[in-house]
Amino acid sequence: MSKQAKTILITGAGSGIGRVTARRFLAEGYHVGLVGRREATLAETAEGYQHALVLPCDVARPEAVAEVFAKIERDWGYLDIMFNNAGMALPCTLIDEITVEDWLAVSQVNISGMFLCARAAFGLMRRQAPQGGRIINNGSVSAHVPRPGSAPYTMSKHAVTGLTRALALDGRPFNIACGQIDIGNAFTDMAQGMIRGVPQADGSLREEPVMDVAHVAASVLHMAQLPLEANVQFMTVMATTMPYIGRG
């Protein structure tokens, strides 16, 4: 494939933020690798678009991640951008009522999956010629302030921030930029509860404002289109009146 074509790999591309972002990049003419556990939903994301590569993969499995990046390297030869987006959350639950199995499930996707995909992308970006690329990690406003009953998710998103900072530093000699987008109340299936009412710090249950997920896709596109000499280190995009500033 000609180096003139721009490439991006997006995890969690079968639904929500990943699907909308993938379709935005496809509409912009990018070659887009769609990573997710379910091939059928990835195919739905790709429907009607050219230059989509469906890549079923559980990001928590090291061998599966390695296979995806080996295919990218064979088929494309290079990777411009990695949107490290896959994640999961749990219902609001106090820590002593959270099962170890649920904690492990969150950490395997939100921490190990992020690490494995970033590791593979970083390696490919170091090997390719010209050297370099951009990794964008999906954090959350929970990387800054928690919701009630969210210990596993909040811990995982603080870990993502640590990964972003480390990669931003380690990538400098190799022309690899790393930034993070922290999202608040984008209206996806995962955020359906926002309009029904979610627990607040004062113990109440209240509906929260949401925003169109298309704003997230536009923000990721902006980050991706910067030249590698410039980087959005951290961006917060959120529903304007959600209880984030002043939360608690």
Instruction: Tell me the Ramachandran region of residue 245: left when phi exceeds 0, alpha when psi lies from -120 to 50, beta otherwise.
Output: beta
Q: Give the three-state DSSP class for 184.
A: strand
Residue with tokens 């499930």: 105
DSSP string, 76-129: TS--SEEEE-------S--GGGS-HHHHHHHHIIIIIIHHHHHHHHHHHHHHSS
Pairwise CA distance, residues 24 & 35, whole Å: 16
Q: Which of 30, 78, 153, 244 is the catalytic position?
A: 153
Task: Determine how many CB atoms are found less than 10 A away from the CB of residue 40.
Answer: 10
Residue 67 DSSP code: H
Pairwise CA distance, residues 127 & 187, whole Å: 38
Residue 147 DSSP code: P
List the structure tokens of 102. Answer: 């649920």
Whether 153 is catalytic is yes
Contact partners, residue 119, CB within 8 Å, separation at least 6? none
Q: Give the three-state DSSP class for 223.
A: helix
Q: Are 92 and 199 in contact (CB under 8 A)?
A: yes
The catalytic residue positions are 153
